[in-house]
């Protein structure tokens, strides 16, 4: 078997065993940019340019109260590439897969890289993360959970960069929250990824103060310590963690429910 064939088999088996998923690539204006793929770069020489920060594996963040929640468990090491785009552009996140049992909300955040340089910015301190899009639970939806919709869309999720956003470098943090074992404390499964982008043209609007990651996600938050069956039976209303969507986000960015 060729080295590339061995890689494909390894990645395929890892996905089947875990039932999880990882961000495979990002599409902007018809161009595809590689995200981090677990284990693959160990076999490729030279390694391809990546535009999302590395992950240790395709599982959830081991402890969402630590700095691993910022950009995933991988050391939050800056990627080599930066995606250039314009305010108002659509960004599509392409996952390798998503498990049917891992129901929960989907969020996207932005953080401005200090000094317009994402190579020196981690975003793991301060209230720097601003939510620009979310879909959580809609009891009348088909399917009702955002992650299940992502799966039915071919493991893809699209967001629009806020149309009035000022130029500069940003971290674009895309995240799925799996609630299938969230009835126990620290059972919620977060799958964040951070993509480096450069807004080349847009408006003059700067990001407001946001939330801190780590810090904003509390183990007892009702959107984190949650029982899927209670929500789905209408016994409790689901409120997603991470605060509201920014008022300057693109239209229809807040799809929290009816």
Please state the rounded mean pLDDT for residues 8-22.
49
How do strand 83-86 and strand 189-201 relate by DSSP bridges? parallel
- What pLDDT is stored for residue 237 in this prediction? 94
State the pLDDT at residue 5.
41
Rounded mean pLDDT, 27-51: 87
75-109 pLDDT per residue, tens: 999 999 999 999 999 999 999 988 767 899 999 99
Q: Which two tokens stand for residue 253?
A: 């960015």
Q: Is the pLDDT of residue 181 over 50?
A: yes
Rounded-to-integer distance, Cα 161 and Cα 144, Å: 25
The percent of residues above 90 in pLDDT, for the chain, comes to: 78
Q: Is the separation of the CB atoms in 48 and 36 below 8 Å?
A: no
- Residue 255: pLDDT band with limits 50, 70, 90: low
Strand 106-112 with 130-135, pairing: antiparallel
Q: Which residue in 133, 134, 137, 161 sits closest to 148, CA to CA?
A: 137
Q: Is the model more confident about 7 or about 195?
A: 195
Query: Quick one: average pLDDT of 114-138?
Result: 96
Check pLDDT > 60 for residue 73: yes
Cα separation, 186 vs 197, whole angstroms: 31
pLDDT above 70: percentage of residues in the chain: 88
The first and second tokens of residue 137, run together, are: 């639970």
Q: Which whole number is the average pLDDT over 226-253?
A: 93
Average pLDDT, the chain: 89
Q: Give the pLDDT mean for 170-182.
A: 97
What 152-158 contacts at long range (C-beta under 8 Å, 24+ apart), as own/partner pairs, is: 155/21, 155/94, 155/95, 155/96, 155/97, 155/98, 156/92, 156/93, 156/94, 156/95, 157/92, 157/93, 157/95, 157/106, 158/90, 158/91, 158/92, 158/93
The pLDDT of residue 46 = 86
Q: Interior CA angle at 223 toward 221 and 228, to 5°?
A: 125
């Amino acid at each position: 078997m060729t080295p590339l064939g061995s890689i494909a088999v390894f990645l395929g088996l890892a996905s089947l065993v875990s039932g999880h998923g990882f961000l495979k690539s990002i599409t902007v204006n018809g161009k595809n940019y590689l995200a981090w793929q677990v284990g693959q770069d160990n076999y490729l020489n030279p390694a391809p340019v990546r535009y999302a920060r590395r992950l240790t594996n395709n599982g959830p963040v081991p402890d969402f109260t630590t700095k691993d929640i910022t950009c995933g468990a991988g050391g939050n090491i800056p990627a080599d590439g930066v995606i250039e785009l314009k305010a108002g552009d659509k960004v599509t996140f392409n996952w390798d897969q998503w498990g049917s049992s891992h129901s929960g909300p989907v969020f996207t955040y932005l953080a401005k890289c200090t000094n317009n340089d994402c190579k020196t910015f981690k975003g793991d301190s301060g209230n720097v993360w601003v939510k620009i899009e979310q879909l959580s639970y809609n009891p009348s939806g088909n399917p009702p959970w955002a992650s299940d919709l992502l799966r039915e869309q071919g493991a893809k999720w699209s967001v629009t960069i806020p149309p009035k956003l000022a130029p500069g470098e940003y971290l674009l943090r895309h995240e799925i929250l799996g609630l299938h074992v969230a009835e126990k404390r620290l059972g919620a499964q977060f799958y964040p990824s951070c993509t480096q982008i450069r807004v080349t043209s847009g408006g003059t609007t700067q990001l407001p103060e946001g939330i801190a990651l780590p810090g904003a996600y509390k183990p007892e938050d009702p959107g984190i310590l949650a029982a899927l069956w209670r929500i789905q039976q209408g016994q409790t209303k689901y409120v997603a963690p991470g605060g509201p969507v920014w008022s300057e986000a693109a239209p229809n960015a807040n799809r929290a429910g009816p």
